[in-house]
Structure 1
Amino acid sequence: MNTFSGGLKHIVGNRHCAATQLFFAPSEPLRHIVSHYTVQLRCDCEPQPQQPLTIVPDASGCLVFTLTNGRLQQLFWGPGSQPHQVSRDFNTIAMRILVEFLPGGAFGLLGSMPLYELQNRQYLLGTIAPSLERLFLPVIELHHESYPLLLQAIDEVLVRHAGIATENMLLQQVLACSSSVYGMLRLNALSDITSYSTRHINRLCQARIGLSWKSFVRILRINEACRRINRGGDVLRTLACDLDYHDQAHFTKDFKALCGVTPSDYQRNLSDFYHEETKLCAHLPDRYAHCK
């Protein structure tokens, strides 16, 4: 077990850039809102420049702290519903730390701002949450030369700040029901389970997750499709049926909308895509099993 100052624990992450990326579980008080931390370190052996990496949307959002040439940038990435390309810049940054939220996890940290206003956008943290930015600045200045200490300090700031946010029990029920079946749940059925109207559930999803219910479950299903394709094997023939699509055409249309390519093109070019296999809440118990 790899641990470091403060007790945050190393977890298994994606296959991409294994030499330059490390993944850590958040402390216990944050595990209902934060999926994990990603630490990206400078690697001068990274080839110049490569084809951009396409991020498969996961409806979650993240905080991104980037240190380059002594300068700090704090960004908030809103919940995504579209594929997004990023450069592979490990040979230019000094360090980058990402706070990867669970769906709905960022809501209370930003002063209850409806997350649909931030969908598919990037903001300087100070423009949308200046009080949170002010909390991070001194710890980054103090610990910017040591990622273990900096990561622990960021976790502690989030624990303090998350204390002002209130949990929504209906949202937790919505997430648990939908993620456990990879989005293969009709809104009317969820309404029956929760005893809340479909309109109320949809408003809740838009405000706290940042997406409509329909968009959210589509993302869940396509992320599950990516996970199964990434495992390997001949899965494309039955994937549409397995994920409760009416036909192959509807599945391909949804997949291309979220990944930018067809399922077969995705399978042929896995290294061009970044899909967080265990970020969505259905898989988190497996990821944290060895961290308790």
Structure 2
Amino acid sequence: MRQRPRRDSRGILDPDRLLRQVRFRRRLPAPALRPYVEHYWLIDWELTGPLEQRVVPHPAVNVVFHGQEGGPETAEVAGPGNEIFAITLHDVGRASGVQFRPGGFRPFWRRPVAELTGRRRPLAAVGLPTVGPVCPGTDDDRCGQLDALLTGWAPGPDPLAAEATALVEEIRADRGILRVDEFARRHGVSTRRLQRLFLDQVGVGPKWVIRRYRLQEAIEQAAGGPLDWAGLATDLGYCDQAHLVREFTAVTGVSPAAYARSLR
């Protein structure tokens, strides 16, 4: 179990620009919630003009509380996203979010997570108890309110959710996992059983998870400086550079070269 939040920028397009214009930080939840929750994320901003931020979603559910100064706070559940997520921030505001671990939302919701894939629904519409706004205050105050909310949802033990979480973590950590059939054989299960498990507990299939983590790695490396794209395509398991370029462009809307130029 992690003792500190992740510090990478995977999934965030143009992370340097985001960090220059907003206050963004991650915090771990209470220890009892860490089997289910990757981290909390907190953002505050005071902008003189609009800021569009785009994110390539992780295979994870997020619960998000978002408010503009002087306006009401919204609360919604965002399932794993098939498409890039874009939001425009403006004026003064804040957001407090819970990023669940892949499979971690299932013990709270107790329904197939695939029902949420590609969807954003008001928190009140998913059948979980709601609370008042996550009020402004210190980071400890905001995280304490999120701890109280999730603890009140009383997640139940779910061996299948724990299994799915461990399998997705293995895919994220091991760059050598490239094929679903080989991964299934490694764990002594059928491809069909692995597919059912992932759709029910994570919301997307194992092939989607493998490709998404490899693509996020390519995006993160592009932000770090000039790349040998052909070599990176080979390292990440793409059949050739053209395959990486097609997938990168399809998800982000720009080619790898254009994205890299935009960061310079």
TM-score, scaled to structure 1: 0.77
Q: 2:19 aligns with which of 13, 17, 20?
A: 17
Q: Which residue of 2 aligns with 1:27?
A: 30
1:38 counterpart residue number: 41
Q: Distance in 2 between matches of 1:146 and 1:78?
A: 27
**SS in structure 2 opposite 1:130?**
coil
Distance 1:62 1:98 in 2: 7
- Structure 2 CA distance for aligned equivalents of residues 195 and 236 of structure 1: 34
1:223 to 213, 216, 234: 216
Higher relative contact order (CA 8 A, sep 6+): 1
Give the residue type in structure 2 aligned to 1:79: P
Cα offsets for 1:31-61 (capped at 9, x unmatched)? 2322221212241xx23124x2221121212
Q: Match of 1:116?
A: 114
- Between the aligned partners of 2:6 and 2:165, the Cα distance in structure 1 is 24
CA contact under 8 A between 1:59 and 1:216: conserved in structure 2? yes
Give the 3 Å change call, closer, same or farther, for CA 194–160 of structure 1 in structure 2: farther
Match of 1:153 in 2: 145
Deviations 1:254-287 (A, max 9, x none): 212222221112212249xxxxxxxxxxxxxxxx
Unaligned runs of 5+ in 1: 1-7, 272-292
Partner of 2:12: none
Give the % identical residues: 24
Q: Which amino acid aligns with 2:75?
A: Q
Q: Which runs of 5+ in 2 are unaligned?
A: 10-15
Distance in 1, matches of 2:63 and 2:176, equals 25
Give a deviation string over 1:217-251, Cα, whole Å, max 9, x none: 11011011112222223332411111111111211
RMSD: 2.5
| AA partner of residue 74 (structure 1) | A
Aligned to 2:257: 264
Kindly tell me: are residues 9 and 41 of structure 1, through their superposed partners in 2, closer, same or farther at Cα, counting changes over 3 Å? Answer: farther
SS in 2 for 1:156: helix
Shift of 1:88: 2.4
Q: 1:74 to 1:248 in 2, by over 3 A?
A: same
Q: Which amino acid aligns with 2:36?
A: I
